[in-house]
Amino acid sequence: MSDERAIDESAVDGRVVDDLARDPFARLRQFTRARIGLGRTGDALPTKELLKFQAAASQARDAVHAALDVPALRKALAPRECIDVGSRATDRQTYLLRPDWGRELGNGETELDAERGDYDLVFVIADGLSARAAMHHSVAMLDACTARLKDWAIAPIVLATQARVGLGDAIAQRLGARMVAVLIGERPGLSVADSLGVYLTWSPQPGQADSLRNCISNIHADGLDYERAATLLAWLAQEARQRKLTGTALKPDLSSQAGISDEHSGRLEENT
């Protein structure tokens, strides 16, 4: 909405009514996706706002249950080499009920062993709790990251299904990578259903504590953009390689990362 006060030409008691006088939250809504100043009809929400809420809830549920389109991702990533793996959770219902199985490899070990090498970093694209996020943002995010890490030995890209963040540890260990960056769909909310998170881990191994990871979250159209997220990830990766650590001991210098706030760095989601 424009900063100028919009005028509603309708009259109340013979007076022209100002939009902002009638709805003081109108100007604030341009700055947030949060539901503020929804109004009411009697003791209930207005029908329009109730329908919007129900639609957002449906989108969040759909995002949780959607499947990762691996063939489409492979096509978008071509000609880069990709490896397909799956967790021990063989279906979505099991994945949701057994988070621990989402951290264990169920298939793809042979393919990973065949590509074992001396790598600085492996990127894992995982469905997590929103395959939609991985489909919408992972390729562009990966492009932005690799452009900043041109001199790095990067392993083939791994596409992981029914995956939690911890699955990246087992993948990196199999490939012989010193670091893993898991690009994963975050838990959908009622404001956004396709938010991507990136979890960076030095010296990954199964059972790794979440405190040993760095997280960049809220990567989506109305959140952190690819360029700023990739700049932060590249800084973290460079520091991790030099200092041989990630997690709570590696604090990003946010003052040097223009436009990046604590909201986008350090939050661990349920994907872990």
Number of Cβ within a 10 Å radius of residue 115: 16
Range 64-89 burial, b when 16+ CB lie within 10 A, else e: bebebbbeebeeebeeeeebebbbbb
CATH 3.40.30.10 is right for the domain spanning 65-264: no
The backbone torsions φ and ψ at residue 240, rounded to the nearest 5 degrees and listed phi first, read -65, -40
Dihedral sign, CA of 246, 251, 255, 260? Answer: positive
| pLDDT of amino acid 14 | 46
| pLDDT of amino acid 200 | 98
pLDDT truncated to tens, each residue of the chain (272 aa)?
A: 344 344 344 444 444 445 555 677 777 777 777 777 787 788 888 888 888 878 877 887 877 878 999 999 999 999 999 999 999 999 999 999 999 999 999 999 999 999 999 999 999 999 999 999 999 999 999 999 999 999 999 999 999 999 999 999 999 999 999 999 999 999 988 778 899 999 999 999 999 999 999 999 999 998 999 999 999 999 999 999 999 999 999 987 654 554 555 555 554 555 66
User: Whole-angstrom distance between the N-terminal and C-terminal Cα of the chain?
Assistant: 38
Q: Give residue limits of the domains in the chain.
A: 65-264
